[in-house]
Chains A and B, each alone.
Chain A
Protein backbone atom coordinates (compact mmCIF):
# COMPACT_ATOMS: atom_id res chain seq x y z
CA UNK A 1 0.00 0.00 0.00
CA UNK A 2 2.82 2.37 0.86
CA UNK A 3 5.14 1.11 -1.92
CA UNK A 4 4.71 4.12 -4.24
CA UNK A 5 6.17 6.25 -1.46
CA UNK A 6 9.46 4.35 -1.25
CA UNK A 7 11.24 6.70 -3.71
CA UNK A 8 10.29 9.59 -1.43
CA UNK A 9 11.71 7.74 1.57
CA UNK A 10 14.92 7.13 -0.40
CA UNK A 11 15.05 10.79 -1.26
CA UNK A 12 14.66 11.73 2.41
CA UNK A 13 17.55 9.46 3.30
CA UNK A 14 19.76 10.88 0.54
CA UNK A 15 18.93 14.45 1.52
CA UNK A 16 19.73 13.80 5.17
CA UNK A 17 22.94 11.96 4.29
CA UNK A 18 24.12 14.61 1.85
CA UNK A 19 23.41 17.43 4.31
CA UNK A 20 25.19 15.52 7.06
CA UNK A 21 28.21 14.79 4.89
CA UNK A 22 28.62 18.38 3.72
CA UNK A 23 28.26 19.92 7.17
CA UNK A 24 30.27 17.19 8.84
CA UNK A 25 33.07 17.37 6.28
CA UNK A 26 33.46 21.11 6.62
CA UNK A 27 33.40 20.76 10.37
CA UNK A 28 36.13 18.12 10.40
CA UNK A 29 38.30 19.15 7.47
CA UNK A 30 37.87 22.92 7.41
CA UNK A 31 40.26 25.30 9.11
CA UNK A 32 38.82 27.16 12.06
CA UNK A 33 40.72 30.35 12.78
CA UNK A 34 39.16 31.76 15.95
CA UNK A 35 39.97 35.41 15.43
CA UNK A 36 37.91 38.22 16.90
CA UNK A 37 36.34 39.08 13.53
CA UNK A 38 35.43 35.47 12.80
CA UNK A 39 33.60 35.11 16.13
CA UNK A 40 31.60 38.34 15.94
CA UNK A 41 27.98 38.13 14.73
CA UNK A 42 27.54 38.47 10.99
CA UNK A 43 25.65 41.68 10.19
CA UNK A 44 25.75 41.98 6.40
CA UNK A 45 29.25 43.41 6.55
CA UNK A 46 28.49 46.27 8.91
CA UNK A 47 29.66 46.30 12.51
CA UNK A 48 27.11 45.26 15.17
CA UNK A 49 26.10 48.22 17.36
CA UNK A 50 24.60 46.50 20.39
CA UNK A 51 22.46 43.72 21.81
CA UNK A 52 19.40 42.74 19.75
CA UNK A 53 17.34 42.08 22.89
CA UNK A 54 16.24 45.67 23.43
CA UNK A 55 12.92 46.81 24.84
CA UNK A 56 10.30 48.17 22.54
CA UNK A 57 6.68 49.21 22.85
CA UNK A 58 4.04 46.54 23.32
CA UNK A 59 2.02 48.34 20.66
CA UNK A 60 4.19 46.61 18.05
CA UNK A 61 2.78 43.26 19.13
CA UNK A 62 -0.77 44.56 19.10
CA UNK A 63 -0.46 46.09 15.68
CA UNK A 64 1.37 43.00 14.47
CA UNK A 65 -1.45 40.71 15.61
CA UNK A 66 -4.12 42.97 14.13
CA UNK A 67 -2.22 43.10 10.87
CA UNK A 68 -2.07 39.30 10.67
CA UNK A 69 -5.79 39.05 11.47
CA UNK A 70 -6.93 41.43 8.78
CA UNK A 71 -4.34 40.19 6.33
CA UNK A 72 -5.48 36.58 6.64
CA UNK A 73 -9.10 37.62 6.35
CA UNK A 74 -8.32 39.46 3.15
CA UNK A 75 -6.97 36.20 1.69
CA UNK A 76 -10.54 34.90 1.57
CA UNK A 77 -11.45 37.61 -0.92
CA UNK A 78 -9.24 36.02 -3.60
CA UNK A 79 -11.19 32.76 -4.09
CA UNK A 80 -14.34 34.85 -4.22
CA UNK A 81 -12.85 37.01 -6.95
CA UNK A 82 -12.06 33.86 -8.97
CA UNK A 83 -15.61 32.47 -8.89
CA UNK A 84 -17.32 35.85 -8.68
CA UNK A 85 -19.47 35.34 -11.78
CA UNK A 86 -20.67 31.83 -10.98
CA UNK A 87 -21.76 32.77 -7.45
CA UNK A 88 -23.98 35.61 -8.71
CA UNK A 89 -25.94 37.65 -6.18
CA UNK A 90 -25.77 35.10 -3.40
CA UNK A 91 -21.99 35.26 -3.39
CA UNK A 92 -22.09 39.02 -3.51
CA UNK A 93 -24.37 39.27 -0.50
CA UNK A 94 -22.38 36.64 1.43
CA UNK A 95 -19.14 38.51 0.85
CA UNK A 96 -20.84 41.78 1.69
CA UNK A 97 -21.85 40.35 5.06
CA UNK A 98 -18.33 38.99 5.50
CA UNK A 99 -16.80 42.39 4.86
CA UNK A 100 -19.36 43.99 7.17
CA UNK A 101 -18.22 41.66 9.96
CA UNK A 102 -14.62 42.61 9.17
CA UNK A 103 -15.64 46.25 9.35
CA UNK A 104 -17.31 45.65 12.70
CA UNK A 105 -14.06 44.15 13.96
CA UNK A 106 -12.12 47.10 12.62
CA UNK A 107 -14.45 49.62 14.27
CA UNK A 108 -14.18 47.68 17.54
CA UNK A 109 -10.39 47.76 17.40
CA UNK A 110 -10.42 51.45 16.51
CA UNK A 111 -12.86 52.46 19.24
CA UNK A 112 -10.96 50.40 21.79
CA UNK A 113 -7.92 52.52 21.04
CA UNK A 114 -5.70 49.68 19.85
CA UNK A 115 -4.55 51.80 16.90
CA UNK A 116 -3.75 54.77 19.11
CA UNK A 117 0.04 54.80 19.09
CA UNK A 118 0.52 57.37 21.83
CA UNK A 119 -1.67 55.65 24.41
Chain B
Protein backbone atom coordinates (compact mmCIF):
# COMPACT_ATOMS: atom_id res chain seq x y z
CA UNK B 1 0.00 0.00 0.00
CA UNK B 2 1.35 3.38 -0.93
CA UNK B 3 1.37 5.82 1.91
CA UNK B 4 -0.41 9.13 1.89
CA UNK B 5 1.57 12.05 3.21
CA UNK B 6 1.19 15.75 3.73
CA UNK B 7 2.67 16.41 0.26
CA UNK B 8 -0.41 14.77 -1.24
CA UNK B 9 -2.70 17.17 0.55
CA UNK B 10 -0.60 20.21 -0.32
CA UNK B 11 -0.91 19.35 -4.01
CA UNK B 12 -4.71 19.52 -3.88
CA UNK B 13 -4.78 22.62 -1.68
CA UNK B 14 -6.90 24.77 -4.06
CA UNK B 15 -9.55 22.06 -4.27
CA UNK B 16 -9.50 21.66 -0.48
CA UNK B 17 -9.91 25.41 0.03
CA UNK B 18 -12.82 25.51 -2.43
CA UNK B 19 -14.56 22.53 -0.84
CA UNK B 20 -14.02 23.96 2.63
CA UNK B 21 -15.53 27.28 1.67
CA UNK B 22 -18.42 25.56 -0.09
CA UNK B 23 -19.18 23.70 3.15
CA UNK B 24 -18.79 26.90 5.14
CA UNK B 25 -21.26 28.72 2.91
CA UNK B 26 -23.71 25.82 3.23
CA UNK B 27 -23.39 25.94 7.02
CA UNK B 28 -23.82 29.72 7.13
CA UNK B 29 -26.81 29.70 4.78
CA UNK B 30 -29.54 28.69 7.27
CA UNK B 31 -28.31 31.12 9.93
CA UNK B 32 -28.06 34.09 7.54
CA UNK B 33 -31.23 36.18 7.76
CA UNK B 34 -33.36 36.40 4.61
CA UNK B 35 -32.39 39.27 2.34
CA UNK B 36 -28.79 39.23 3.55
CA UNK B 37 -27.59 36.26 1.48
CA UNK B 38 -25.27 38.45 -0.58
CA UNK B 39 -22.88 38.26 2.37
CA UNK B 40 -22.40 34.60 1.44
CA UNK B 41 -21.43 35.73 -2.05
CA UNK B 42 -18.62 37.74 -0.52
CA UNK B 43 -17.57 34.77 1.63
CA UNK B 44 -17.35 32.75 -1.60
CA UNK B 45 -15.32 35.48 -3.27
CA UNK B 46 -12.84 35.28 -0.37
CA UNK B 47 -12.76 31.51 -0.82
CA UNK B 48 -12.01 31.78 -4.53
CA UNK B 49 -9.25 34.33 -3.93
CA UNK B 50 -7.67 32.12 -1.24
CA UNK B 51 -7.90 29.14 -3.57
CA UNK B 52 -6.18 31.24 -6.24
CA UNK B 53 -3.34 31.99 -3.83
CA UNK B 54 -3.18 28.29 -2.95
CA UNK B 55 -2.97 27.39 -6.64
CA UNK B 56 -0.14 29.88 -7.08
CA UNK B 57 1.62 28.32 -4.08
CA UNK B 58 1.30 24.72 -5.24
CA UNK B 59 3.03 25.66 -8.48
CA UNK B 60 6.17 25.37 -6.35
CA UNK B 61 5.37 21.76 -5.43
CA UNK B 62 5.18 20.03 -8.79
CA UNK B 63 4.66 16.29 -8.81
CA UNK B 64 1.95 13.73 -8.47
CA UNK B 65 -0.27 13.00 -5.51
CA UNK B 66 -2.48 10.19 -4.20
CA UNK B 67 -0.85 7.27 -6.01
CA UNK B 68 -0.41 9.26 -9.23
CA UNK B 69 -4.09 10.10 -9.56
CA UNK B 70 -3.44 13.84 -9.33
CA UNK B 71 -0.73 15.52 -11.35
CA UNK B 72 0.31 18.95 -10.18
CA UNK B 73 2.04 20.36 -13.27
CA UNK B 74 2.08 23.70 -15.08
CA UNK B 75 -0.82 22.62 -17.25
CA UNK B 76 -3.12 21.90 -14.32
CA UNK B 77 -2.09 24.98 -12.33
CA UNK B 78 -2.84 27.29 -15.28
CA UNK B 79 -6.24 25.70 -15.83
CA UNK B 80 -7.13 25.78 -12.12
CA UNK B 81 -6.30 29.49 -12.04
CA UNK B 82 -8.45 29.96 -15.15
CA UNK B 83 -11.39 28.14 -13.55
CA UNK B 84 -10.99 30.26 -10.43
CA UNK B 85 -10.98 33.44 -12.50
CA UNK B 86 -14.21 32.33 -14.19
CA UNK B 87 -15.74 31.54 -10.79
CA UNK B 88 -14.66 34.93 -9.42
CA UNK B 89 -16.13 36.88 -12.34
CA UNK B 90 -19.35 34.84 -12.18
CA UNK B 91 -19.73 35.38 -8.44
CA UNK B 92 -19.17 39.13 -8.80
CA UNK B 93 -21.64 39.24 -11.67
CA UNK B 94 -24.26 37.14 -9.85
CA UNK B 95 -24.76 38.99 -6.59
CA UNK B 96 -26.71 41.97 -7.91
CA UNK B 97 -28.59 39.69 -10.30
CA UNK B 98 -29.79 37.43 -7.50
CA UNK B 99 -30.85 40.45 -5.44
CA UNK B 100 -32.73 41.95 -8.38
CA UNK B 101 -34.63 38.78 -9.27
CA UNK B 102 -35.24 37.98 -5.58
CA UNK B 103 -33.37 34.66 -5.64
CA UNK B 104 -32.62 34.64 -1.96
CA UNK B 105 -30.56 31.46 -1.67
CA UNK B 106 -26.99 31.21 -0.42
CA UNK B 107 -26.66 27.72 -1.90
CA UNK B 108 -26.12 29.33 -5.30
CA UNK B 109 -22.66 30.47 -4.22
CA UNK B 110 -21.82 27.14 -2.62
CA UNK B 111 -22.78 25.36 -5.85
CA UNK B 112 -20.48 27.60 -7.89
CA UNK B 113 -17.64 26.76 -5.51
CA UNK B 114 -18.37 23.04 -5.71
CA UNK B 115 -18.60 23.10 -9.50
CA UNK B 116 -15.24 24.85 -9.59
CA UNK B 117 -13.70 22.31 -7.19
CA UNK B 118 -14.96 19.50 -9.44
CA UNK B 119 -13.51 21.22 -12.49
CA UNK B 120 -10.18 21.67 -10.70
CA UNK B 121 -10.09 17.94 -9.96
CA UNK B 122 -10.83 17.21 -13.62
CA UNK B 123 -7.99 19.28 -14.99
CA UNK B 124 -5.47 18.01 -12.46
CA UNK B 125 -6.22 14.31 -12.53
CA UNK B 126 -4.28 11.71 -14.46
CA UNK B 127 -6.56 8.91 -13.40
CA UNK B 128 -9.72 8.20 -15.36
CA UNK B 129 -11.76 7.39 -12.26
CA UNK B 130 -10.66 10.68 -10.71
CA UNK B 131 -11.58 12.52 -13.92
CA UNK B 132 -14.98 10.88 -13.71
CA UNK B 133 -15.51 11.94 -10.10
CA UNK B 134 -14.47 15.50 -10.89
CA UNK B 135 -16.80 15.50 -13.89
CA UNK B 136 -19.69 14.36 -11.73
CA UNK B 137 -19.03 16.90 -8.96
CA UNK B 138 -18.93 19.72 -11.46
CA UNK B 139 -21.87 18.44 -13.54
CA UNK B 140 -24.28 17.84 -10.68
CA UNK B 141 -23.64 21.33 -9.31
CA UNK B 142 -24.24 22.89 -12.69
CA UNK B 143 -27.42 20.85 -13.31
CA UNK B 144 -28.87 22.45 -10.18
CA UNK B 145 -27.59 25.91 -11.09
CA UNK B 146 -29.21 25.76 -14.54
CA UNK B 147 -32.62 25.31 -12.91
CA UNK B 148 -32.12 27.93 -10.27
CA UNK B 149 -35.18 29.99 -11.24
CA UNK B 150 -37.60 27.39 -10.01
CA UNK B 151 -40.68 29.39 -10.92
CA UNK B 152 -39.73 29.69 -14.58
CA UNK B 153 -40.56 26.98 -17.07
CA UNK B 154 -37.57 27.74 -19.27
CA UNK B 155 -35.17 27.40 -16.39
CA UNK B 156 -36.70 24.06 -15.43
CA UNK B 157 -36.50 22.89 -19.02
CA UNK B 158 -32.88 23.95 -19.14
CA UNK B 159 -32.05 22.01 -16.00
CA UNK B 160 -33.83 18.83 -17.05
CA UNK B 161 -32.33 18.86 -20.55
CA UNK B 162 -28.86 19.48 -19.19
CA UNK B 163 -29.31 16.75 -16.62
CA UNK B 164 -30.62 14.10 -19.01
CA UNK B 165 -28.12 14.70 -21.79
CA UNK B 166 -25.30 15.27 -19.33
CA UNK B 167 -25.88 11.96 -17.56
CA UNK B 168 -26.16 10.28 -20.95
CA UNK B 169 -22.78 11.72 -21.90
CA UNK B 170 -21.25 10.67 -18.61
CA UNK B 171 -22.46 7.13 -19.26
CA UNK B 172 -20.65 7.14 -22.64
CA UNK B 173 -17.49 8.39 -20.97
CA UNK B 174 -17.73 5.73 -18.28
CA UNK B 175 -18.28 3.01 -20.86
CA UNK B 176 -15.13 4.18 -22.63
CA UNK B 177 -13.21 4.01 -19.36
CA UNK B 178 -14.45 0.45 -18.87
CA UNK B 179 -13.10 -0.57 -22.30
CA UNK B 180 -9.76 1.07 -21.62
CA UNK B 181 -9.54 -0.77 -18.33
CA UNK B 182 -10.40 -3.99 -20.09
CA UNK B 183 -7.63 -3.42 -22.64
CA UNK B 184 -4.85 -2.24 -20.38
CA UNK B 185 -5.80 -3.28 -16.86
CA UNK B 186 -5.33 0.23 -15.52
CA UNK B 187 -7.09 3.57 -15.41
CA UNK B 188 -3.98 5.66 -14.96
CA UNK B 189 -3.34 7.73 -18.07
CA UNK B 190 0.45 7.53 -17.90
CA UNK B 191 0.42 3.77 -17.43
CA UNK B 192 -2.15 3.42 -20.22
CA UNK B 193 0.13 5.31 -22.57
CA UNK B 194 3.18 3.25 -21.62
CA UNK B 195 1.29 -0.01 -21.93
CA UNK B 196 -0.16 0.83 -25.32
CA UNK B 197 3.03 2.33 -26.72
CA UNK B 198 5.40 -0.36 -25.47
CA UNK B 199 3.29 -3.35 -26.42
CA UNK B 200 0.93 -2.19 -29.15
CA UNK B 201 -0.06 -5.74 -30.04
CA UNK B 202 -1.55 -6.33 -26.59
CA UNK B 203 -4.60 -4.23 -27.35
CA UNK B 204 -7.18 -5.14 -29.93
CA UNK B 205 -7.25 -2.06 -32.20
CA UNK B 206 -11.00 -2.22 -32.83
CA UNK B 207 -11.73 -2.23 -29.11
CA UNK B 208 -9.26 0.61 -28.60
CA UNK B 209 -11.04 2.62 -31.28
CA UNK B 210 -14.36 1.92 -29.62
CA UNK B 211 -12.97 3.11 -26.27
CA UNK B 212 -11.54 6.29 -27.80
CA UNK B 213 -14.78 7.04 -29.64
CA UNK B 214 -16.90 6.51 -26.53
CA UNK B 215 -14.72 8.77 -24.40
CA UNK B 216 -14.63 11.39 -27.16
CA UNK B 217 -18.42 11.34 -27.41
CA UNK B 218 -18.75 11.78 -23.64
CA UNK B 219 -16.44 14.79 -23.61
CA UNK B 220 -17.87 16.20 -26.85
CA UNK B 221 -21.25 16.47 -25.12
CA UNK B 222 -19.63 18.46 -22.33
CA UNK B 223 -17.82 20.89 -24.62
CA UNK B 224 -20.84 21.00 -26.96
CA UNK B 225 -19.14 20.13 -30.21
CA UNK B 226 -21.15 18.90 -33.18
CA UNK B 227 -22.92 16.54 -33.58
CA UNK B 228 -23.49 16.60 -29.82
CA UNK B 229 -24.35 20.28 -29.46
CA UNK B 230 -28.15 20.04 -29.71
CA UNK B 231 -28.75 20.70 -26.01
CA UNK B 232 -26.65 23.86 -25.84
CA UNK B 233 -28.99 26.64 -27.06
CA UNK B 234 -31.95 25.53 -24.94
CA UNK B 235 -29.86 25.06 -21.82
CA UNK B 236 -27.97 28.34 -22.21
CA UNK B 237 -31.14 30.27 -22.96
CA UNK B 238 -33.16 28.87 -20.09
CA UNK B 239 -30.54 29.06 -17.36
CA UNK B 240 -30.16 32.34 -15.45
CA UNK B 241 -27.71 34.48 -17.46
CA UNK B 242 -24.87 34.54 -14.87
CA UNK B 243 -25.14 30.75 -14.65
CA UNK B 244 -24.90 30.62 -18.43
CA UNK B 245 -21.75 32.72 -18.15
CA UNK B 246 -20.33 29.98 -15.95
CA UNK B 247 -21.75 27.03 -17.92
CA UNK B 248 -20.40 28.24 -21.22
CA UNK B 249 -16.85 28.63 -19.93
CA UNK B 250 -15.80 26.66 -16.85
CA UNK B 251 -17.12 23.14 -17.60
CA UNK B 252 -15.99 23.65 -21.19
CA UNK B 253 -12.47 24.60 -20.15
CA UNK B 254 -12.29 21.63 -17.79
CA UNK B 255 -13.61 19.18 -20.39
CA UNK B 256 -11.23 20.53 -23.04
CA UNK B 257 -8.38 20.08 -20.58
CA UNK B 258 -9.37 16.44 -20.14
CA UNK B 259 -9.81 16.03 -23.90
CA UNK B 260 -6.29 17.30 -24.56
CA UNK B 261 -4.77 15.27 -21.74
CA UNK B 262 -6.59 12.16 -22.94
CA UNK B 263 -6.42 12.35 -26.72
CA UNK B 264 -3.14 14.19 -27.22
CA UNK B 265 -1.44 13.27 -23.96
CA UNK B 266 -2.23 9.56 -23.80
CA UNK B 267 -3.93 8.02 -26.83
CA UNK B 268 -2.31 10.33 -29.36
CA UNK B 269 0.98 8.52 -28.77
CA UNK B 270 -0.53 5.18 -29.71
CA UNK B 271 0.17 4.48 -33.36
CA UNK B 272 -3.00 2.49 -34.03
CA UNK B 273 -5.27 5.19 -32.55
CA UNK B 274 -3.53 8.22 -34.07
CA UNK B 275 -5.40 8.51 -37.42
CA UNK B 276 -8.75 7.78 -35.77
CA UNK B 277 -8.27 10.56 -33.22
CA UNK B 278 -7.12 12.93 -35.93
CA UNK B 279 -10.18 12.36 -38.11
CA UNK B 280 -12.58 12.40 -35.16
CA UNK B 281 -11.25 15.81 -34.17
CA UNK B 282 -11.06 17.08 -37.75
CA UNK B 283 -14.62 16.15 -38.67
CA UNK B 284 -16.04 17.33 -35.37
CA UNK B 285 -14.17 20.65 -35.65
CA UNK B 286 -15.52 21.35 -39.15
CA UNK B 287 -19.08 20.36 -38.22
CA UNK B 288 -19.00 22.37 -35.00
CA UNK B 289 -17.73 25.56 -36.62
CA UNK B 290 -20.14 25.39 -39.56
CA UNK B 291 -23.23 24.41 -37.56
CA UNK B 292 -22.54 26.92 -34.79
CA UNK B 293 -21.93 29.85 -37.10
CA UNK B 294 -24.69 29.12 -39.60
CA UNK B 295 -27.30 28.60 -36.89
CA UNK B 296 -26.21 31.76 -35.09
CA UNK B 297 -27.05 33.81 -38.19
CA UNK B 298 -30.77 33.24 -37.69
CA UNK B 299 -31.04 33.87 -33.96
CA UNK B 300 -33.11 36.74 -32.64
CA UNK B 301 -32.45 36.09 -28.95
CA UNK B 302 -29.14 37.33 -27.58
CA UNK B 303 -28.63 34.45 -25.16
CA UNK B 304 -29.34 31.95 -27.93
CA UNK B 305 -27.05 33.81 -30.28
CA UNK B 306 -24.25 33.68 -27.72
CA UNK B 307 -24.99 29.98 -27.18
CA UNK B 308 -24.45 29.24 -30.88
CA UNK B 309 -21.40 31.47 -30.81
CA UNK B 310 -20.02 29.38 -27.95
CA UNK B 311 -20.55 26.25 -30.07
CA UNK B 312 -18.60 27.90 -32.88
CA UNK B 313 -15.81 28.80 -30.47
CA UNK B 314 -15.64 25.19 -29.30
CA UNK B 315 -15.03 24.39 -32.98
CA UNK B 316 -12.10 26.82 -33.19
CA UNK B 317 -10.62 25.30 -30.04
CA UNK B 318 -10.98 21.86 -31.60
CA UNK B 319 -8.88 23.12 -34.52
CA UNK B 320 -6.10 23.74 -31.99
CA UNK B 321 -6.62 20.31 -30.45
CA UNK B 322 -6.44 18.73 -33.91
CA UNK B 323 -3.14 20.51 -34.53
CA UNK B 324 -1.82 18.90 -31.34
CA UNK B 325 1.77 19.02 -30.17
CA UNK B 326 3.31 21.78 -28.07
CA UNK B 327 2.07 24.61 -30.27
CA UNK B 328 -1.48 23.27 -30.51
CA UNK B 329 -1.68 22.72 -26.76
CA UNK B 330 -0.45 26.21 -25.87
CA UNK B 331 -2.78 27.79 -28.43
CA UNK B 332 -5.72 25.87 -26.93
CA UNK B 333 -4.78 27.05 -23.44
CA UNK B 334 -4.52 30.64 -24.69
CA UNK B 335 -7.85 30.36 -26.46
CA UNK B 336 -9.59 28.97 -23.35
CA UNK B 337 -8.30 31.93 -21.33
CA UNK B 338 -9.33 34.59 -23.82
CA UNK B 339 -12.66 32.93 -24.52
CA UNK B 340 -13.44 32.82 -20.79
CA UNK B 341 -12.76 36.56 -20.42
CA UNK B 342 -14.99 37.64 -23.28
CA UNK B 343 -17.80 35.15 -22.83
CA UNK B 344 -18.23 35.63 -19.07
CA UNK B 345 -18.08 39.39 -19.59
CA UNK B 346 -20.70 39.30 -22.34
CA UNK B 347 -23.11 37.08 -20.43
CA UNK B 348 -22.97 38.95 -17.11
CA UNK B 349 -23.49 42.23 -18.93
CA UNK B 350 -26.45 40.78 -20.84
CA UNK B 351 -27.79 39.50 -17.51
CA UNK B 352 -27.80 43.07 -16.24
CA UNK B 353 -29.21 44.64 -19.40
CA UNK B 354 -31.98 42.06 -19.71
CA UNK B 355 -33.71 43.66 -16.75
CA UNK B 356 -35.83 42.12 -14.01
CA UNK B 357 -36.67 38.46 -14.69
CA UNK B 358 -34.65 38.69 -17.92
CA UNK B 359 -37.53 40.05 -19.92
CA UNK B 360 -35.45 41.80 -22.57
CA UNK B 361 -33.12 39.30 -24.19
CA UNK B 362 -34.04 39.75 -27.86
CA UNK B 363 -31.73 41.57 -30.23
CA UNK B 364 -34.61 43.98 -30.82
CA UNK B 365 -34.65 44.89 -27.14
CA UNK B 366 -31.10 46.16 -27.48
CA UNK B 367 -32.04 48.55 -30.28
CA UNK B 368 -30.89 52.06 -29.58
CA UNK B 369 -29.12 51.07 -26.37
CA UNK B 370 -26.15 53.30 -27.20
CA UNK B 371 -28.28 56.44 -26.89
CA UNK B 372 -29.58 55.49 -23.43
CA UNK B 373 -26.55 53.76 -21.99
CA UNK B 374 -23.45 54.62 -24.01
CA UNK B 375 -21.07 53.04 -21.48
CA UNK B 376 -22.76 49.66 -21.35
CA UNK B 377 -23.26 49.63 -25.12
CA UNK B 378 -19.54 50.30 -25.57
CA UNK B 379 -18.61 47.43 -23.21
CA UNK B 380 -20.95 45.01 -24.98
CA UNK B 381 -19.51 46.14 -28.31
CA UNK B 382 -16.00 45.33 -27.11
CA UNK B 383 -17.13 41.84 -26.05
CA UNK B 384 -18.79 41.27 -29.41
CA UNK B 385 -15.80 42.51 -31.38
CA UNK B 386 -13.52 40.31 -29.32
CA UNK B 387 -15.75 37.28 -29.88
CA UNK B 388 -15.68 38.09 -33.59
CA UNK B 389 -11.88 38.25 -33.42
CA UNK B 390 -11.10 41.87 -34.23
CA UNK B 391 -7.44 42.96 -33.87
CA UNK B 392 -6.33 44.57 -30.60
CA UNK B 393 -8.71 42.29 -28.69
CA UNK B 394 -7.81 38.91 -27.26
CA UNK B 395 -10.23 37.21 -29.65
CA UNK B 396 -7.95 38.06 -32.55
CA UNK B 397 -4.80 36.54 -31.09
CA UNK B 398 -6.65 33.54 -29.71
CA UNK B 399 -7.80 32.69 -33.23
CA UNK B 400 -4.47 33.68 -34.75
CA UNK B 401 -2.48 31.30 -32.54
CA UNK B 402 -4.89 28.43 -33.08
CA UNK B 403 -4.84 28.89 -36.86
CA UNK B 404 -1.07 29.29 -36.88
CA UNK B 405 -0.71 26.04 -34.95
CA UNK B 406 -3.01 24.38 -37.48
CA UNK B 407 -0.96 25.76 -40.41
CA UNK B 408 2.29 24.55 -38.86
CA UNK B 409 0.68 21.13 -38.49
CA UNK B 410 -0.08 21.24 -42.27
CA UNK B 411 -3.84 21.42 -41.76
CA UNK B 412 -4.41 23.88 -44.58
CA UNK B 413 -7.93 22.73 -45.40
CA UNK B 414 -9.06 22.96 -41.81
CA UNK B 415 -7.53 26.41 -41.42
CA UNK B 416 -9.27 27.69 -44.54
CA UNK B 417 -12.63 26.38 -43.29
CA UNK B 418 -11.99 27.99 -39.89
CA UNK B 419 -11.07 31.33 -41.49
CA UNK B 420 -14.19 31.32 -43.66
CA UNK B 421 -16.25 30.56 -40.59
CA UNK B 422 -14.83 33.39 -38.58
CA UNK B 423 -15.65 35.74 -41.48
CA UNK B 424 -19.26 34.53 -41.40
CA UNK B 425 -19.40 35.00 -37.64
CA UNK B 426 -18.65 38.72 -37.94
CA UNK B 427 -22.13 39.20 -39.37
CA UNK B 428 -24.10 38.11 -36.35
CA UNK B 429 -21.82 39.73 -33.80
CA UNK B 430 -22.04 43.02 -35.66
CA UNK B 431 -25.81 42.68 -35.99
CA UNK B 432 -26.11 43.30 -32.25
CA UNK B 433 -23.66 46.20 -32.42
CA UNK B 434 -25.53 47.73 -35.35
CA UNK B 435 -28.83 47.39 -33.48
CA UNK B 436 -27.37 49.14 -30.45
CA UNK B 437 -25.87 52.06 -32.36
CA UNK B 438 -27.92 52.53 -35.51
CA UNK B 439 -31.44 51.66 -34.42
CA UNK B 440 -34.00 54.03 -33.03
CA UNK B 441 -34.45 53.46 -29.30
CA UNK B 442 -37.98 52.19 -29.28
CA UNK B 443 -37.61 50.23 -26.07
CA UNK B 444 -36.36 52.24 -23.14
CA UNK B 445 -33.71 50.55 -21.04
CA UNK B 446 -34.47 51.86 -17.60
CA UNK B 447 -32.06 49.55 -15.87
CA UNK B 448 -30.31 51.09 -12.91
CA UNK B 449 -26.66 51.94 -13.36
CA UNK B 450 -24.22 49.08 -13.09
CA UNK B 451 -23.74 47.66 -9.57
CA UNK B 452 -20.24 48.02 -8.27
CA UNK B 453 -19.31 44.32 -8.10
CA UNK B 454 -20.61 43.68 -11.61
CA UNK B 455 -18.82 46.77 -12.87
CA UNK B 456 -15.59 45.48 -11.35
CA UNK B 457 -16.03 42.07 -13.00
CA UNK B 458 -16.69 43.68 -16.38
CA UNK B 459 -13.72 45.99 -15.94
CA UNK B 460 -11.48 42.99 -15.17
CA UNK B 461 -12.62 41.18 -18.31
CA UNK B 462 -12.23 44.32 -20.44
CA UNK B 463 -8.72 44.93 -19.12
CA UNK B 464 -7.90 41.28 -19.77
CA UNK B 465 -9.29 41.46 -23.31
CA UNK B 466 -7.28 44.55 -24.21
CA UNK B 467 -4.12 43.57 -22.36
CA UNK B 468 -3.98 40.15 -24.01
CA UNK B 469 -5.10 41.71 -27.27
CA UNK B 470 -2.19 44.16 -27.29
CA UNK B 471 0.52 42.15 -25.50
CA UNK B 472 -0.32 38.50 -26.12
CA UNK B 473 3.22 37.19 -26.49
CA UNK B 474 3.94 37.25 -22.73
CA UNK B 475 1.17 34.83 -21.84
CA UNK B 476 1.78 32.70 -24.93
CA UNK B 477 5.47 32.25 -24.22
CA UNK B 478 4.58 31.38 -20.62
CA UNK B 479 2.12 28.82 -21.89
CA UNK B 480 4.63 27.43 -24.37
CA UNK B 481 7.21 26.96 -21.63
CA UNK B 482 4.67 25.44 -19.22
CA UNK B 483 5.57 22.05 -17.91
CA UNK B 484 3.13 19.86 -19.81
CA UNK B 485 3.95 16.29 -18.79
CA UNK B 486 3.35 14.50 -22.09
CA UNK B 487 5.37 16.87 -24.29
| A residues with CB within 8 A of B | 86, 90, 101, 104-105, 107-108, 111-112
Chain B nearest CB, measured from A89 CB (Å): 11
- Please report B residues at the A interface, Cβ cutoff 8 Å: 1, 4, 23, 26-27, 29-31
* Whole-angstrom CA separation of A107 from B23 in the bound complex: 11
Point out the residues of chain A lying under 8 angstroms from B4, CB to CB: 90
Pair B30/A108 contact, Cβ less than 8 Å = yes
With A and B bound together, what is the CA distance between A105 and B26 in angstroms? 8
State the majority secondary structure of interface residues on B: helix
Interface residue SS majority, chain A: helix
| Structural contact, B30 and A101, CB atoms closer than 8 A | no
Q: How far is the CB of B179 from chain A (nearest CB, A)?
A: 14
- Please provide the 6 A-B residue pairs with the shortest distance between their CB atoms, ordered closest to farther: A111-B30, A108-B26, A112-B30, A104-B23, A104-B27, A90-B4
Contact of A101 among B1, B23, B29 (CB under 8 A): B23
Q: In the bound complex, how far is the Cα of B6 from the Cα of A85, in angstroms? A: 20
B1 near A107 (CB under 8 angstroms)?
no
In the assembly, what is the distance between CA of A101 and CA of B22, in Å?
Answer: 11
Enumerate chain A residues within 8 angstroms of B31, measured Cβ to Cβ.
111
16 A–B pairs (Cβ distance < 8 Å), ordered by A: A86-B1, A90-B4, A101-B23, A104-B23, A104-B26, A104-B27, A105-B26, A107-B27, A108-B26, A108-B27, A108-B29, A108-B30, A111-B30, A111-B31, A112-B29, A112-B30
Beyond the given pairs A90-B4, A105-B26, 14 more chain A to chain B contacts, judged by CB atoms under 8 angstroms and listed by A's residue number, are A86-B1, A101-B23, A104-B23, A104-B26, A104-B27, A107-B27, A108-B26, A108-B27, A108-B29, A108-B30, A111-B30, A111-B31, A112-B29, A112-B30
Kindly report which residue of chain A lies nearest to residue B24, judged by CB atoms. Answer: A104
**A90 / chain B contacts, CB cutoff of 8 Å:** 4
CA distance A90 to B3 in the complex (A): 10
- Min Cβ gap A88→B in Å is 10
Measured between alpha carbons, how far is A108 from B27 in the docked complex, in Å?
A: 6
Residues of chain B contacted by A108 (CB below 8 angstroms): 26-27, 29-30
Taken together as a complex, chains A and B put the C-alpha atoms of A108 and B29 apart, in Å, by 8
CB-defined contacts of A104 to chain B, threshold 8 Å: 23, 26-27
Measured in the bound complex, the distance between the Cα atoms of B108 and A116 in whole Å is: 23
